[in-house]
Each structure stands twice: as C-alpha cells, then as structure tokens.
Chain A
C-alpha cells in the first residue's frame, strides 16, 4: 500500500493518549516541544453533551444500562472493552488472556477506579525479599519526587499513615466512610486487617481554577463532566491542546515505527480509520504509550533490516513477562443492614476505605501481597438489579421466590444489605507468559494481531485462596455471611482470568542489562536511542497496587529526560 507522507516533522511523536501518553504530552508540550499525539480512537470530552453519560438515569437507556455494547454497562465510559469490533486477538490453546482496549482520547483513564497508590520501597526490590522475579533498576527514591509532583498536579485524597510500603503523599482530605464501610472497618479491625481511608484521584477539594470539585454522584466510571476526577483527556490532553504545541491525530491506528538504514526511528505510520489509508508522520523521537500490549505489538510489527525481530527486540523479550494483577471477589450479606433508611450515599466513584497489604509473606505459603477493595449495593439500580429478588430469604427460613407485593417488599428490604469484597494481588512475572505476533491473523486494518499465552502459577492460585479465607473471616467479624461457596481447588479458587483486572504490564520491561530487558531506566529502548515506552510495558513487576500512578510518575521522569536530551541535542 502507498504510504502518504505530508506531515511536518515533529520533535516528538506520542502514540496513545492514556495515562502515560497524556502525561508525556503535557510535560513535553509545556516545555515548548512540538508534538504529534496519535490516538487510535475518537476525540472524547466528558463535558460534551453528545458523549456524556454522567447523571443519566437507567431509564434513559432502552436496555436500562445493560452491558450489550459496553461490557460494564451502557453508561460506562469506555469505547471498547475486552472485544473491539474488527480488532481480534488470538490465544494459545489451554491458556487464557482477556485484552481490554479503550479506543478514545484518554483511553482507559476515563473509566478506571481512580485508585492511585504509590509503589513502595519494597515493590521496586521484591527479589531482595523473596528471590523471585527481578528487581527494578530504579528505587522508590528515584521516583518519589515524581509521585510528589503528580499528587500536587492532579490531586489524590488519602491520609498519612506511616506504613513503610504504602508511602504517604500530598493528599487531599478523604470523604467520611459510608455506613457499610463502618461495618467493614469493624470487621477488619477484629480480624487484624489494616484498614485506612482509600486513596483516589478525585477532587474532594479544589486543586486549581480549571477543574471542578467532586459533587458526589459516585459515577467516576462515567468520566466526570466537571473534571473532578482524573482522566488523561480531561487533565492533560484537552488543556495541552490549548497551548498550540500539540497536533492531535484521532482515529489513527499506528502500524509501526519507521526506521532509517541505521536503525534509528524516523517516525511512525498509521491507518486513518476514516478512510482506511496509511499515512506517515516524521519525528525526532517516538514515545510509545499505546498500552503494554499495543506498544509491544507495534514494536514487534516494526521489522526492518536493522531490526529483523522487531524494533528494540534484540533481547527477544518484547511481549515476555506479561502479567496482570490477580483478583477474586465475594459478596457478603449483613443482616444488620436490612430495611435500611434510604438517603443519598453515592459518595465518590469508588470506596471510601480500603485495606492495603498487611501481612508478612515469610509466614505464608505464597509470595507477594494483595489489597482489598470494598464494593457496595446501596446504589442506583441498573439492569440486573433484583434478578434474585429475595434469595436472602433462605437465611431466615423463608421461602425464596414468589411474586406479588410481597416480592416488591422483599426487594426493598434487602436493598443495600450486601457488600462486595475484592482482592487485587501481585503476580510473579514469568517469561513464558507473553504476547507475540500471530502470523496468521490480521485485524480489519490489515495489521498482524497479537497472540497471547498466559497461565497462572501456584503462587497466584494460593494467594487468591488466602483472599477467600480472609473474606470469610472479615464477613464473620462484621456480623455478616459470605455468600456462595468458596471456589474450590479445581476452580483455582476463583482466580480471575489473566487480563480481567486490566492491570497488564511487563511486555517491554526495564533493566540495566540489554540482554535481560527491553528498555533502560529512562524507559528508552536499549537498541535505539530515540524510542521510548511510557505505558505499563516497562514495569518489572506490578505490585499489589494499581499501575496508573506509577505509569504517570515514570512517564513524567522520562519526559524530563527527553527534554534534557533534546536540549543537549543528543537526539
């Protein structure tokens, strides 16, 4: 196919506008660097009435919000989920992976849980503690200044707790706990499980004059029209566009990074999804932030004489060490919460309290920890509400089922009486969990797709078993009953399929040794001096935290490094 080349030459081309790409766009353009930002999805602004779903009622959707076209429901703000029309991926037999993609400005930051946790000192050096996996080439002290700046720029609520591996930051004050969260606090304290206010990037207090303050609708997963929650589009890209240094290319799906005969990057080529034609953009530096797996795919598809196995792949490690957080969950019925008086308890879009990892693995039969998230049911009904209207009758020896006014009363009686507990834990990265190019399958744009091969090991399975044991103890200690049976060994204790927690990282991991890693500690490819990766790909290990805050702190650090290199005219 003919490639159309009519773009100006940019200083930096950023591929992807999510957490890492948005961060880089802001920092680089603020420094007066001319940028092309290339996004595979459409423009998105949560304040645009044509795109907004915040504050809609369930009856404003003809399917009452059910998840036919959006996996997490009609009002959820992600264009694309584990499936994207025309963009398949394949999976090696007897393994599993589910690959989430949000094709839109801001990417997955429009729908995420806003849980904004710093990795702690231990998280960068886990191998020193248990001999497993690999240490990061950087330490907490290297990244701390960027976490600090991020807290102040974006805003995250939380509290100073002085817990060694859960570093404190510059916090906004947290919201008060909800009623069911008081039950959780009670149960956690009785069980010896640490419980503290959650740490979410939602503005409980004004942070500047351009973003609003939270008005407690509890719908951050719909992306906030007042920009009171963090998303990359709202907080980085849309403001950066006003500065005049950023050219935004939307609906532009990058195919590969172009290189010269010496193997250095000269730009990228992309498919314009509106006309299906391929174009190229020239730039001095390419910053990939397409998501861990998409960036790996772009690099592996960027084959040339100089890079026969894909760009930056001399180590043969691109795509390897793919890992997601572990996860499992359980519902708990709290009889004290039946017949609740109703009031507006929406709160922020997420939990107000949570439990960071609290145990010492030396005394346990699995490595690495997990945190516990607390979910609620005292929420706005959507499709699925009341499907098992009075299942809980069985705890009172009353018949389950029936119909009529009694049924209606049962629904009201049990409304808000269950809570959800979810564990999110750290997996051990393994070389034999990976994505690679499937030579036999192309997507609708003609680009070779990814094939996944991923299996959990005993480490992860034993960890989620421990989660269920903990959930049952917590349930008991909060005066509740864990619902359903504990998943069995045969069911791998209910561990989520890899990819389901949507924290996948590790595909271009960072290290000092070019034979054992893909990028250096500034997220630059070892093989080429003008290509960087600033998404989750460079993660050496995904701690029992959420990756976003660390993706952004690293991207900020890398962006400063790029600015410095451009100034010194090294690139």
Chain B
C-alpha cells in the first residue's frame, strides 16, 4: 500500500468504522505514523524534530477532517487523475494547523482553519438546519455560491468570504503541489535535461509577437560541446 493510501486510511478513518483515531493517537498509531512518514528532504535534526512532533499528533477531530475533505472535494471535484485525498490535501490541513499554531503565525490553526469550519457549519445550520457534513452537496454549493465570489478587495469582505478564500487557497495549493495536481497542471520539469531553447512548436504559436534573434542565439551555448572543458584565448574568447 503506498504512503498516501495508508495515510488516507489512518487519518481519515475511511476504512470501516471510524473509531480508529478520535482525538489522540495511541502508541500503535504512533509507530505506524513514524514508519510511514519517512520524509527524506534534507532536514536538520531540529527541523526533523519539529516535523516528527506534528506528524505524530492530532489537531483536527475526525469529523473536522471529514468536513475538510467534503469542502475540498467540492472546491476541486475529483477527475480522471484522482480526488482530493489522492492529492493529500486533508493531510496538508492537518499539518499546517499544527505547523502554524505558534504566536508567530497568530495561532492560524485555531483562529483561521478551525474557525472556518465553525463559521461554515453555522451558516449551514442557519440555512438548512444541518452541519456542513450532513448537508447534501447541492446544499453546500448554495452556500458556496454566496461566499466564493469577490467583487471587492478581500480585506473589506465578510469573515465567511475571507475564510472561504483561505480554504480555497489552501485546497488549490495542496492539490497543485501534489503528484496528481502537478500532472494535471502539466508541469514538465524537475528532471535532468539539456535546455536548448523554447521548443519550435511553441515558438510557432508566437510568430509575429516574439521570436529568437540570430545574433543573440549565436552567442548561446552549443549543447553538443557542453562536455568539452572550457578554454579561452587571452582576450576571453572561448576556444572550445
């Protein structure tokens, strides 16, 4: 089972009944989490300690996580590449809520992320007599239609609109920084290659707008000689 799948099952309790994780993590879960969260991305020991602490504790209740999942799947609905869980968006909320629960972050987890859930629930109760998680998708959309458009600058908006924008921002960021989101976006880099200019089929789209000029290109690297050790004459002219 891949890491994402495991996490999904554990954190969201989506296998069978959801008694697995309620508010605190048992020692068994700790072990599992330790093992699966093997992030290897060049941390110093202090950074690793910080990561591990947050990866092995819980901020949101299971109901809250399910609510976030529901919101996220409406803001960015599943497509052929996968859904919001495949993108790890709920995990990101859980992590950021702890990572930013410091005075420096103005207690973001509580004051913004949890506050968002409270406000969205209140609005759903006012409208439909139900918490967001118990509303139908179309009911949630009725609410989102009211709070998701910004016809003036965000700082002048109501709290619900601001919170929605924050949720949307984090969901979009979480999705497009995931493996499936990057595939969806079409980003092709982060892989060794030899840059030799904008592909010609792309340049063709911009004929009459921009193009390479010969004089400039002639000064650029000849990639067939990139492995030859550079040598110059006394005037600084490259000989190799």
Contact call A403/B75, Cβ cutoff below 8 A? yes
Partner of B174, one of A56, A64, A399, A479: A64
**Given A171-B236, A179-B206, A213-B226, are A385 and B198 also a contact pair (CB < 8 Å)?**
no
**Given A62-B95, A174-B220, A412-B184, are A215 and B179 also a contact pair (CB < 8 Å)?**
no
CB closest residue in chain B, given A215:
B192
Min C-beta distance of A377 to chain B, whole Å: 11
Contact call B177/A64, Cβ cutoff below 8 A? yes
**Given A62-B51, A380-B189, are A408 and B76 also a contact pair (CB < 8 Å)?**
yes
Partner of A172, one of B190, B196, B238: B238
| Residues in A neighbouring B27, C-beta threshold 8 A | none
Residue with the highest number of chain B CB atoms closer than 10 Å, among A205, A215, A405: A205
Let me know if B131 is at the binding interface, CB within 8 A: no
Let me know if B217 is at the binding interface, CB within 8 A: yes
Partner of B185, one of A79, A178, A342: A342
Q: Which of B13-21, B110-118, B208-216 lines the interface with chain A?
A: B208-216
Min C-beta distance of A86 to chain B, whole Å: 11
Let me know if A283 is at the binding interface, CB within 8 A: no
Which residues of B (139-197) have their CB < 8 Å from a CB of A?
144, 148-151, 165, 168-170, 172-179, 181-182, 184-197
| Residues in B neighbouring A56, C-beta threshold 8 A | 41-42
Contact call A179/B202, Cβ cutoff below 8 A? yes
**Given A384-B173, A386-B169, are A346 and B99 also a contact pair (CB < 8 Å)?**
no
Residue-wise, chain A 17-50 has the 8 Å CB interface mask toward B (1 for contact) of 0000000000000000000000000100000011
Min C-beta distance of A6 to chain B, whole Å: 27
Min C-beta distance of B182 to chain A, whole Å: 6
Q: Which residues of A contact B (CB under 8 A)?
A: 42, 49-53, 55-66, 68-69, 74-75, 77, 79, 85, 148, 151-152, 155, 157, 159-160, 168-179, 182-183, 185-186, 197, 204-209, 213, 215-219, 336, 340-348, 379-389, 399-405, 407-408, 411-412, 415, 479
CB closest residue in chain B, given A218:
B189
Residue with the highest number of chain B CB atoms closer than 10 Å, among A60, A215, A389, A400: A389
Assembly CA distance A341 to B151 (angstroms):
30
| Residues in A neighbouring B148, C-beta threshold 8 A | 401-403
Contact call B77/A405, Cβ cutoff below 8 A? yes
Min C-beta distance of A224 to chain B, whole Å: 11
| Residues in A neighbouring B50, C-beta threshold 8 A | 69
Residue-wise, chain B 119-145 has the 8 Å CB interface mask toward A (1 for contact) of 000000000000000000000000010
Assembly CA distance A218 to B201 (angstroms):
22
Could you list some 23 contacts between A and B, CB below 8 A?
A49-B40, A63-B99, A75-B41, A171-B236, A172-B230, A174-B220, A175-B221, A179-B206, A182-B198, A197-B216, A206-B230, A342-B185, A342-B187, A344-B193, A346-B193, A383-B173, A383-B177, A385-B173, A385-B177, A389-B169, A400-B151, A401-B168, A403-B75
Contact call A207/B236, Cβ cutoff below 8 A? no
**Given A58-B177, A65-B177, A401-B165, are A342 and B188 also a contact pair (CB < 8 Å)?**
yes
Contact call A479/B209, Cβ cutoff below 8 A? yes
**Given A381-B176, A400-B150, are A60 and B188 also a contact pair (CB < 8 Å)?**
no
9 additional A-B pairs beyond A51-B42, A389-B172, beta carbons within 8 Å, are: A173-B219, A173-B221, A217-B191, A381-B185, A386-B175, A402-B148, A402-B149, A403-B168, A407-B172
Min C-beta distance of A354 to chain B, whole Å: 13
| Residues in B neighbouring A51, C-beta threshold 8 A | 42
**Given A63-B99, A175-B221, are A183 and B42 also a contact pair (CB < 8 Å)?**
no
| Number of B residues with CB within 8 Å of any CB on chain A | 86
Q: Which residues of B contact A (CB under 8 A)?
A: 37, 39-42, 44, 46-47, 50-51, 54-55, 74-77, 79, 88, 91-92, 95-96, 99-100, 105, 144, 148-151, 165, 168-170, 172-179, 181-182, 184-199, 201-203, 205-206, 209-212, 216-217, 219-222, 225-230, 232, 236-238, 240
Min C-beta distance of A41 to chain B, whole Å: 10
Partner of A206, one of B92, B168, B228, B236: B228
CB closest residue in chain B, given A103:
B44
Min C-beta distance of B22 to chain A, whole Å: 22
Contact call A381/B182, Cβ cutoff below 8 A? yes
| Residues in B neighbouring A58, C-beta threshold 8 A | 177-178, 182
Min C-beta distance of B70 to chain A, whole Å: 13
CB closest residue in chain A, given B203:
A179
| Residues in A neighbouring B175, C-beta threshold 8 A | 386, 408
Contact call A160/B236, Cβ cutoff below 8 A? yes
| Residues in A neighbouring B47, C-beta threshold 8 A | 69
CB closest residue in chain A, given B154:
A388
CB closest residue in chain A, given B233:
A170
Assembly CA distance A148 to B46 (angstroms):
41
| Residues in B neighbouring A62, C-beta threshold 8 A | 37, 39, 51, 54-55, 91-92, 95, 99
Assembly CA distance A542 to B77 (angstroms):
52
| Residues in A neighbouring B197, C-beta threshold 8 A | 176-177
Partner of B209, one of A160, A336, A383, A400: A336
Assembly CA distance A342 to B236 (angstroms):
37
Partner of B176, one of A60, A77, A385, A402: A385
Contact call B226/A61, Cβ cutoff below 8 A? no
A-B pairs, top 4 by smallest CB distance, nearest first, are: A342-B186, A176-B197, A386-B172, A387-B169
Partner of A169, one of B185, B199, B202, B236: B236
CB closest residue in chain A, given B179:
A59
Contact call B212/A177, Cβ cutoff below 8 A? yes
Contact call B149/A401, Cβ cutoff below 8 A? yes
CB closest residue in chain B, given A179:
B198
Assembly CA distance A68 to B98 (angstroms):
11
| Residues in A neighbouring B144, C-beta threshold 8 A | 403
| Residues in B neighbouring A403, C-beta threshold 8 A | 74-76, 144, 148, 168
Contact call B176/A171, Cβ cutoff below 8 A? no
Contact call B54/A345, Cβ cutoff below 8 A? no
Min C-beta distance of B233 to chain A, whole Å: 10
Assembly CA distance A217 to B192 (angstroms):
6
Contact call A341/B173, Cβ cutoff below 8 A? no
Min C-beta distance of B48 to chain A, whole Å: 10
Assembly CA distance A382 to B184 (angstroms):
15
| Residues in B neighbouring A159, C-beta threshold 8 A | 219
